[in-house]
Structure 1
Amino acid sequence: MSIYKEILGKQFYKLHPMLQKRYGFKDYKTFKATGVMHKITSGPKWLYLFKLFAARRKFLFPEHGNNIPFHIVNTQQIGSNGEQQVHWERRFYFPNINRDFNALMTLDIDKVIVKDYLGEPSLFYSELTFEVTDQGHLRIESQKQRLVLGKFELPIPRLFQGNVLVNESYVKENENFCIHVWITNPLIGTLFEYKGEFRTDDL
């Protein structure tokens, strides 16, 4: 059973059938898709140096633009401790450079959260909650976050967190998944955002 099916429980079957296939990993261990991000927003310019550093860790990046080609690979795997994991690889093909946004997710069923380590090597940790909307979309929100410094993890006060909101849906008419990722901060506003669509490589 995938970590997403386990955390959603009965809600999982309220997802659009294609989202069930995507997050259920029933017939495969890897999900691959290609698409386009209609909009990528990178936030305030004064965060440029931080995002340039984060880009080297395959996390946030300073580039922005419209209609940026995109590729995603989700791989279900088992970690060295026997824990089930899902590795996320997201690549954005800007005109002059490619940028990656990677993560490793595991399940904490006792807390009913997904543990999300962002970047390679990890730079941030975020706890994620999952729910299904009345329309059959998947909605993901961040909760507690920590800054990862090697073996040490420092809690980030709520006022300084990057609050993540993700909405993913499936549009039957064009056989595309639609995704909207929005990261905001109470003081700064939008830190990072992308919105677009993609189609599985096996269609």
Structure 2
Amino acid sequence: MPTPRDPEHPLSPYEAALGAAAVARLHPRLRAYVGAIPPGRHGTGHGTYEVAGTRRRWLWPVLGILAREHVLFPAGQRDVPFRIRNEEGPAGRRARREFDFLSGPRTMVDEVRFIDGRLVDDIGTHRRFRAELVARVDDGALVLTSIRMLVRVGGHHIPLPRRWSPRILLVERFVDAEDRQRVELVLDAPVIGRLYEYRGTFEYGIVGGEDAG
């Protein structure tokens, strides 16, 4: 059950969507990742994606357009170094992911918010794309599944028809044997199948002030 916000003890969007009981079932190392980041601090991580992008080159012209918005990229590669930075904004959790592809660096940006009882992810520099998400905990991992994709036109978000709308599945888990966090994201579409993916491991921590240097 979603948890209401307390102005004196602000929750992250994920905590608000999951509720206290589900947050307690997360792996202890994931709670810092999911929890609210204190003012003046930020979350930072670095690692390697075992695979990132797509090998379907016929998609690359469309992905080239999306790359201008810092959404997805016309690339497909193994062993891609990456960095991530998370911080709490006025409305939600902002994330910046930097991919070091052989073809050049690429950046993905998004902001996750909890709005009117819904977890939403506004994707891209101008937030033209939105995913409505359902959050759950599965064996200590955070699992996010999209239930609707929308495109912003003017001041309105227009839902994409479900019969051809892409679907996102994101899993964040902590692997004790590797002492690292593992992330797996897949973007699939009906009929077409896999459109995009990235998966890999990284180290993550909350830093700020003197720690940031």
TM-score (norm 1): 0.90
Corresponding residue for 1:46? Answer: 58
Q: Residues 147 and 26 from structure 1, CA distance in 2 versus in 1: closer, same or farther, beyond 3 angstroms?
A: closer
Q: 1:117 aligns with which of 106, 117, 122?
A: 122
* Aligned Cα root-mean-square deviation (Å): 1.8
Q: Residues 94 and 26 from structure 1, CA distance in 2 versus in 1: closer, same or farther, beyond 3 angstroms?
A: closer
Corresponding residue for 1:182? Answer: 186
Q: 2: distance between equivalents of 1:149 and 1:26?
A: 32
Q: 2: distance between equivalents of 1:35 and 1:152?
A: 37
Corresponding residue for 1:81? Answer: none
Residues 95-122 of structure 1: CA deviation (Å, up to 9, x unaligned)? 2311111111110253xx2111111112
Mean CA deviation greater in 10-19 or 152-161: 152-161
Q: Which runs of 4+ in 1 moved over 3 A?
A: 26-29
Q: 1:107 aligns with which of 106, 111, 114?
A: 114
Q: What percentage of residue pairs aligned between the two structures are identical?
A: 25
What amino acid maps onto 1:22 in structure 2?
Answer: Y
Structure 2 contact 42–206 (Cα < 8 Å) conserved: no
Unaligned runs of at least 5 residues, structure 1: 79-83
Task: Please tell me whether residue 129 in structure 1 is matched to residue 140 in structure 2.
Answer: no
TM-score (norm 2): 0.86
Corresponding residue for 1:19? Answer: 30
Q: Residues 103 and 152 from structure 1, CA distance in 2 versus in 1: closer, same or farther, beyond 3 angstroms?
A: same
| Aligned ranges 1:46-195 → 2 under 5 Å | 46-78=58-90, 84-110=91-117, 113-133=118-138, 135-195=139-199
Give the total of aligned pairs: 195
